Amino acid sequence: IAAEEGPGLKVAFDCLLNSYATSPLKFRFLELYRVMEALFLADVKSRLVANFDAEPSASLSEATEALKSELRQITALAEPHKDLFEECWTQLNAIKNTNRFAAALFRRIESKKIAGNGKWQTGAALIYQARCSIVHAGEKDMIFENFPDSDEAIKTVIPPVERAALRMLGITLG
């Protein structure tokens, strides 16, 4: 998914800039995740507009389907950056025996049967579930604040998530 010109790109850049000025760490992580969400939405809109005149019904249906699953969205975003999402899996897998939050993330994706076929897909699912634990504080959901070591787990994935957000924006660091 490539960054397109327009409001979606501005939102993505704003989220990136916010990520450098935001604390606590969980909100920095969310801002980086929002970069990816904004780019995904911009891509869906771009494809909808590009195909609408030729096939209005099909393009609306495709856009609606794309928006149904946030997990599919993050997986689609992750695919061109498999190495970085595999790194997320590697970082969290390395601490899952000593970090309760990381262990809970793995249990959660296994219980919901959302682990991917490869490490990169599972890494994307872990990032998605970490995001959910921060924004969904329902009694049936995993709640970020209920884990005393959640910040340590997020700290391990911030570097690859940040590099993924930058790469998705077309920014590469030497």
47 to 32, 42, 53, 64, 99: CA distances (angstroms): 23, 9, 11, 12, 41
Q: Collapsing DSSP states into helix, strand and coil, what is residue 99?
A: coil
pLDDT tens for 85-122 read 999 999 999 999 999 999 999 999 998 887 668 899 99
Q: What is the pTM of this model?
A: 0.85
**pLDDT, tens digit, 9 for 90 and up, residues 48-77:** 888 889 988 988 888 888 777 788 888 888
Q: Find tokens 């009694």 and name the residue.
A: 139
* HSE (side-chain half, CA atoms, 13 Å) at 170: 9
